Amino acid sequence: MARRRRDSPFSCRAKPALRLGVSTLLLYLCLNCASLGHADPWPASARPTLLVGAIELRRCPTVPAYCGTLNRPMDPTGAIPGRISIYFEYYPHAAVAKSLGTLVATEGGPGYPATESRDSYLALFKPLRQRRDVLIMDNRGTGQSGAVECRELQNAKQWTVEMNAACGDSLGARAALYSTAYAADDLAAILDALDIRRIDLYGDSYGTYFEQVFAVRHPDMLRAIVLDGAYPLNGPGYAWYPSYAPAMRDKFNIACRRSEPCAQLPGTSIDHILPVLRELRAHPFPARATDSDGREREFSADASQLAIVMFGAAPAFVTVRELDAAARAFSGGDRTPLLRLMAETSTAVAPAGDIAKFSAGLATAVMCQDAPQIFDMRLAPLLRTADRDRAVQERKRSLPDTYAPFTIDEYRGMPLDYSFIDQCVKWPVSPSTHPASHVVADDAHYPDIPALIISGELDSITTLADGAAVAGAFKRGVQVRVANSFHVNALPHGRSPCTAQIVRRFFNTLQPGDTSCAGNVPPVRLVPQFVVHAAQHEPAVALPGNRAGPEQLRWISAAVMTAGDVLARLGGNSTGQGVGLRGGSFRVVSGPMAIRVTLNKVHWTEDLAVSGEIEQPLARTGTVRATLHMAGAGTLAGDLKVEWPEGIAGSIAVIRGTVDGAIVSARTAAP
């Protein structure tokens, strides 16, 4: 099973936006803010209450839905007393005609409430909502369904096994009752109360785990199912996450092969990174760098910190875009780009904050109750620790390359919510009536329903191999591989609108139809090289009418790379401001159709300051436009207008303007 990360295997999308509210990042990730579901106003004729089945729902105060709760026993078996109120939102179909059915969306994490992601789900479902109702439920222990609070764990900069154990101790007998199995039963009970017979179920990341549990426990309630970023319930050696390292290596190697400057270098991308790994093993050092929000981070630059960059998904796009070039720069004596990536991935393990937006306690309870472990969870913690040590030593002997190029110890050196192996070693023993790792029966069968499994080609969290295993479990399972894409692809942050179109068609027809568009997502544009001085950069290519000289064209291409470097930071930015790689600052303002970034003497190289504005369309396609003023060493100065199209392979930036009075007419690869 998987874990919490800011953009985690189960987290579905760039989580900083969800944890910090509707921020610049959420707007940046959306296709078009007008498509967000909650933007649709209530019609004037909307009733204050709505009777659905046996429940009278009331209009929600802040969203155009009807809100409800269902009072449920904490323990359906009755062995442990107590009750919990499960919160849900019901969005009636818009047309007067009879509903064609109900769409249900379930969230990743574990720990994130589904209603906090309502905008993304409603955007996905919007073309279907004329004739289909939508239901979104907060799983028990999240959001408005009794969010679990373990204060020390919630506010910790980095989790420890002792904090996890203290959380479990504080929950007592209730700890085992936050299992996905009981959350799935809660949804079934709500459907019964609303008199909803069958549903179409969409889930992302950990939500795909929930979906499979629901499918096994309540098969007759499903018409069809879509699993976006899926991983199986179990499998051989699953507790070691054996598919992660191969997928991680493939992620960087594939991206390099599809980027001409990288592909022309000898060896694979992993070959380019290995010298840095060897250097960090031999000479780790204390480091300091700024993250995507411009905050300074302190950390140890070592092999485990590099593992976080390579295994992590926060930020997934920028690490693939930059790591190869950053590693080569590091080997050449320029540490700044790689240390920045390390600082940016460190942000992913920041304190969780508001339990209503993410519950660290629920995340740990689910991980320690449901997920398979490398040790026996029936053992007391002291004996379990010894069992873990035995298992680790045996793994080192039999499969030492499980996480290659990293050692098993280097992998375990990552934070607990990255590596997972040690996370539950001191968690309290579950009662025999609610044993750990028994979410479904060992001989459970998946229902014979249409199942669509979506897997990003560059997803090293819920891997292609994981998705294939899930597809194989369903008799009518079909896996769609989304080229050049990462974790979770049907929601607005995905790299192509194609995947959402496939999902909608599948829910309409129970067939994925033509999925060829999933193979046409453009490759990630990698940084060709990091340079300290602008004159070291490859020059832009002169076009007819150009009067700028070769040296000036190098400065011009470096100015374009400065703009691209700032835009790449937006995927992890949650404050609306940040700093350049080597100095300067930028600010971000979101509009209805685009975001506007203002640069103030931003330095991508040490000797070139770039100011001006960039307009980035919110859609995955469209034209990026930048007006840049560049000031270089000596008296060099220039004013440029730069444009390039997004959403296509081989995008070219066209540059017009003047440098030192000379007319500029040039092109370069889009940054």
Give the tens place of pLDDT for each residue, 357-415.
Answer: 999 999 999 999 999 999 999 999 999 999 999 999 999 999 999 999 999 999 999 99
As a whole number of angstroms, the distance between CA 421 and CA 425 comes to 8
Cis peptide before 400, with omega less than 30 degrees from 0? no
Q: What angle do CA 432, 437, 443 make, to 5 degrees?
A: 100
32: pLDDT strictly greater than 60: no
Q: Strand pairing of 296-301 and 450-456?
A: unpaired
Give the tens place of pLDDT for each residue, 265-291.
Answer: 999 999 999 999 999 999 999 999 999
Q: Residue 42 — pLDDT band, cuts 50, 70, 90?
A: low
pLDDT at 348: 55
Beta bridge pairs of residue 662: 659
Q: What is this structure's pTM?
A: 0.92
Residue 386 gets the label, from left (phi > 0), alpha (psi -120 to 50) or beta, of: alpha
Contact assessment for residue 536 and residue 566, using Cβ atoms and an 8 Å cutoff:
no
Helix boundaries (H) for 258-287: 260-263, 269-282
Q: Where are the domains of the chain?
A: 15-238+439-519, 534-669
Give the tens place of pLDDT for each residue, 404-463.
Answer: 999 999 999 999 888 899 999 999 999 988 888 888 887 889 999 999 999 999 999 999
Please, what's the b/e burial string for 341-372 (b: 16 or more CB within 10 A of its CB; e: otherwise)? bbbbbbbbbbebeebebbbbbbbbbbbbbbbb
Sequence letter at residue 663:
I
Torsion of CA 166, 359, 17, 295, to 10 degrees: -10
Give the tens place of pLDDT for each residue, 220-268.
Answer: 999 999 999 999 998 888 899 999 999 999 999 999 999 999 999 999 9
Q: Residue 144 — pLDDT band, cuts 50, 70, 90?
A: very high
Overall CATH class of domain 15-238+439-519: alpha beta
pLDDT at 438: 84
